[in-house]
Amino acid sequence: MAAMLKPLRILLSTSKCPQSRSCSRYVSRMRYVNQLKEDDSLCAEALQSSHIMLFHRLSPLLQPAERGTFTPATFSSSDVQLMLERLGHDRCLLTESVLVGCSEENQAQFCLDVGELDQAAVEDECEGNFVELRKSFFLLTAAEVPIVAKGQALLRWHQTNRFCCATGQPTHRNQAGSQRVCRSSGTVHYPTMSPVVIVLVSDGKRCLLGRQSSFPRGMYSALAGFCDMGESVEETLCREVAEEVGLEVDSISYSSSQHWPFPHSSFMLGCHASVSPAHTQLDVDHTELEDARWFSLEEITSALQMKSPPRRGDPPGVWLPPKHAIGHRLITEWMERQQSGERGE
Ligand SMILES: NC(=O)C1=CN([C@@H]2O[C@H](COP(=O)(O)OP(=O)(O)OC[C@H]3O[C@@H](n4cnc5c(N)ncnc54)[C@H](O)[C@@H]3O)[C@@H](O)[C@H]2O)C=CC1
Ligand SMILES: [Mg+2]
């Protein structure tokens, strides 16, 4: 039986600013993370006493937790070093960890991809399983998803940016993994996200959802589209709605934003928009969307109550994005607004 790595049960910090009383701790934490990005030797020292989440070819390692749930497995750096040795691997691999944040106790948190090691051997050592990121999203809590998504996105960015796109020369990362430098030209490369606008359109009584052929069976979501170079959020929103369903929106309001790791790190800007009830006839571009249609409050309310996606053989039902997705948040906001409108609030 392989020696087991003892997981650390720590509360992973989110990027949310805590309120009032603990705000100074938040400030010191953010400044510490910034220092780690700037100072390679401080970061190398922090790595030696850090918490590390493991990935294997970009799939996070999850461990079973209470009541059938799962949690991202986190280990001390010394335990990871011992595991690397036991599996006959150079402990230098640890230095390829990337910084993802810092706990409430100012303990640096890193991610490491051990894709060079045998997957089953690591799973055995760690009493966990590497689970593809999309599946992980359905297994983790809302508090755990952002840091796992961030870790995977950063690891993927390093794996795909080993050479400078201007000179073709190798790039070299800093210790935190927050940048890569091309030494021949001095160009500094930073991790990138593609801005996407996601919008829930309403005609006052119904909301508009679409589905792409690649979506899971029965799933509909708010309309989304990548920003073109030079566009404002408002311009992207109006263009995408016009392109995909042939409507012109009247008014726009901002809701919230989210980093979305699929397919290659999008920065999702979530908005609500309205169209006149007199102009709701859809002209769907079927090259982009398999279907788009208006949904009543009753349809949305019952779809939000579905606990699992429809299986093969089930009656066709509408399935909405998972609760960690910003599309879910926009739909829930719309439903709550409609319900309070119906109650006359
Ligand atoms: N978190 C959520 O709730 C949801 C997230 N999304 C995400 O939003 C993103 C955009 O939605 P789509 O309707 O697919 O966009 P879209 O309507 O702009 O169409 C995608 C097409 O845009 C082009 N494109 C332009 N810039 C691109 C870039 N930077 N990266 C990739 N393709 C680019 C490509 O030709 C691609 O096929 C998707 O990646 C999807 O994962 C979509 C719906 C819900
Ligand atoms: Mg789209």
List, for residues 147-190, the tens digit of each pLDDT value: 999 999 999 999 999 999 999 999 999 999 999 999 999 999 99
Q: Which residues of 275-311 are buried (b: 16+ CB within 10 A; e: fewer)?
A: beeeebeeeeeeebbeebeebebebbeebeeeeeebe
Question: 316 C-alpha to center of ligand 1: Å?
Answer: 26
Mutate to test the pocket of ligand 1, among 134, 156, 196, 238 (most ligand atoms within 8 A of CB): 196
Residue 321 CA: which ligand 1 atom is closest?
3
Give the 3-state secondary structure of residue 137: helix
Q: Whose CA is nearest to atom 17 of ligand 1?
A: 225
Q: Residue with the nearest Cα to atom 41 of ligand 1? A: 262
CA dihedral 272, 146, 218, 317 (to 10 degrees): -80
Mean pLDDT on 71-77 = 95
Taking the centre of ligand 1 as the mean of its atom positions, its distance from the CA of residue 35, in whole angstroms, is 34
* % residues pLDDT > 70 (the chain): 92
Q: Is 50 exceeded by the pLDDT of residue 344?
A: yes
Q: Tell me how far the alpha carbon of residue 225 lies from the centroid of ligand 2, in angstroms.
A: 4
The pLDDT value recorded for residue 13 is 47
pLDDT at position 11 is 41
User: What is the arithmetic mean of pLDDT over 229-250?
Assistant: 98
What's the Rg (C-alpha) of the chain? 23
Name the closest ligand to CA 323: 1
Q: What average pLDDT does this structure show over 83-93?
A: 90
- Tell which atom from ligand 1 comes closest to the C-alpha of 263: 39
Percent of the chain at pLDDT exceeding 90:
78
CA-based nearest residue to 334, from 279, 289, 294: 294
Q: How high does pLDDT run on average in the chain? A: 91
Query: Using an 8 Å Cβ cutoff, are 46 and 39 in contact?
Result: no
The CA-based angle 40-6-124, given to 5 degrees, is 105
The reported pLDDT for the residue numbered 307 is: 74
Enumerate residues lining ligand 1, CB below 6 A.
Answer: 194, 196, 198, 221, 224-226, 240, 260, 262-263, 266, 268, 288, 321, 325-327
| 255, burial (CB in 10 Å: exposed 0-12, middle 13-18, buried 19+) | middle
Q: Is the pLDDT of residue 247 over 90?
A: yes
pLDDT band at 10 (very low <50, low <70, confident <90, very high): very low
Q: How confident is the model at residue 8 (pLDDT cuts 50, 70, 90)?
A: low
CA–CA separation, 122 and 7 (whole Å) = 13
Q: Residue 292 has which token pair?
A: 């788009």
Higher-pLDDT residue of 91 and 313 is 91
- The residue written with tokens 């992973």 in the block is 12
ipTM of the complex: 0.95
Strand 194-202 and strand 266-274: the pairing is parallel
Which of helix, strand or coil describes residue 115? coil
The DSSP-derived string for 167-236 is: T--BEEE-SSSS-EEETTTTEEE----EEEEEEEEE-SS-EEEEE-TTSPTTB-B-EEEEPPTT--HHHH
Atom number in ligand 1 closest to CA 327 = 3
pTM of the model: 0.90
Nearest CA to ligand 1 atom 8: 224
Q: Read off the pLDDT band of 141 (50, 70, 90).
A: confident
For 22-69, the pLDDT digits (tens) are: 568 899 999 999 999 999 999 999 999 999 999 999 999 999 988 778
Q: Ligand 1: distance of its center to the CA of 196 in Å?
A: 7
pLDDT of residue 2: 40
Question: How many whole angstroms separate alpha carbon 45 and alpha carbon 100?
Answer: 16
Q: How far is CA 337 from CA 9, 10, 78, 272, 344, in A?
A: 38, 36, 51, 12, 10
**Lowest-pLDDT choice from 143-147, 228-232, 306-310, 319-323:** 306-310
Query: Model confidence over 130-139: pLDDT tens digits?
Result: 999 999 988 8
* Atom of ligand 1 at shortest range from CA of 262: 41
Question: Does the pLDDT of residue 73 top 70, yes or no?
Answer: yes
Q: What is the pLDDT of residue 161?
A: 97
Residue 308 pLDDT: 72
Residue 209 and residue 341: Cα distance in Å, rounded? 21
Do the Cβ atoms of 339 and 297 come closer than 8 Å? Answer: yes
Backbone phi, psi, residue 269, to 5°: -105, 110
Q: Please tell me the distance from the alpha carbon of residue 152 to that of residue 269, in angstroms, as a whole number.
A: 20
Contact 283, 209 (CB under 8 A): no
Residue 146 has pLDDT above 90, yes or no: yes
Specify the pLDDT at position 15.
Answer: 44
Would you state the pLDDT for residue 315? 67
Return the pLDDT at 113: 98
Task: Give the mean pLDDT of 258-276.
Answer: 96
Q: Which atom of ligand 1 is nearest to the CA of 328?
A: 3
Q: Is the pLDDT of residue 104 over 90?
A: no
pLDDT at 254 over 90: yes
DSSP three-state, residue 333: helix
